[in-house]
Chain A
Amino acid sequence: DADVTQTPRNRITKTGKRIMLECSQTKGHDRMYWYRQDPGLGLRLIYYSFDVKDINKGEISDGYSVSRQAQAKFSLSLESAIPNQTALYFCATSDSRQGALADTQYFGPGTRLTVL
């Protein structure tokens, strides 16, 4: 089984709808992240969480919210989706205690979201 899973893998929705993307990990990592990928722009950080009680805004948090329900689960919500939120969304995890590889981020398979 994959260490970092994302659901759904694909989603098409309409403008104004509320959408939740979920991320689960079995790696035992303490830190989790949400990114979006747009063509030509690389990945941009939306939110990150260093533990269950610690949530931080990333480079592009407007229009998004997150919830860290447990160490292994980190969900991303779009309260009212708009077409320019159409993108590929990645969840990532890292372990702050991993010695030489501390805070190396490992990515889930991605969720392709289309907002019509």
Chain B
Amino acid sequence: AQKVTQAQTEISVVEKEDVTLDCVYETRDTTYYLFWYKQPPSGELVFLIRRNSFDEQNEISGRYSWNFQKSTSSFNFTITASQVVDSAVYFCALSGFNNDMRFGAGTRLTVKP
């Protein structure tokens, strides 16, 4: 069975701090995909990144970076120099062989001015 764990329910930081959101996953599939989505207060789900299980390269996109480590089954997300607009719920998700996507419970990030 596939499972995604986001142990941090809520995180609060002050603007300009760096923050890392943790994601740990479980799967028996050898080919799988990991995702991060952002859900701002307005409620929509915004796709941030997709990573396949064969690509362990870290990725950076502006202030966002992702660290994928198969050895620890983790796919962590770091926001550098956080801003108030980063306040949202962030979901990590895992999709395996049968495309059955499983989401973590989400981490609510609050960035205070």
Contact = CB atoms under 8 A, between A and B. Distances in A.
Interface of A: 31, 33, 35, 40-45, 48, 50, 56, 58-59, 88, 90, 92, 94, 100-101, 103-107, 109-110
Interface stretch (B14-22, B60-68, B100-108): B100-108
Specify the main secondary structure of chain A where it touches its partner: strand
Nearest to B33: A103
B101 A40 contact: no
A101 B99 CA distance: 13
Contact of B103 (A43, A88, A110): A43
A43 B44 CA distance: 12
Contact of B101 (A33, A41, A88, A109): A33
Between A31, A42, A44, A45, the greatest number of chain B beta carbons within 10 A of the residue's beta carbon is seen for: A42
B105 A88 contact: no
Given A42-B91, A43-B91, A105 B103 contact: no
Contacts of A110: 43-45
Given A42-B91, A42-B106, A103-B95, A58 B100 contact: yes
Nearest to B44: A109
A101 B100 CA distance: 16
Nearest to B95: A103
A89 B95 CA distance: 19
A106 B47 contact: yes
A78 B91 CA distance: 26
Nearest to B49: A104
B50 A31 contact: no
Contacts of A43: 45, 91, 93, 103
Interface in B31-77: 33, 35, 37, 43-45, 47, 50
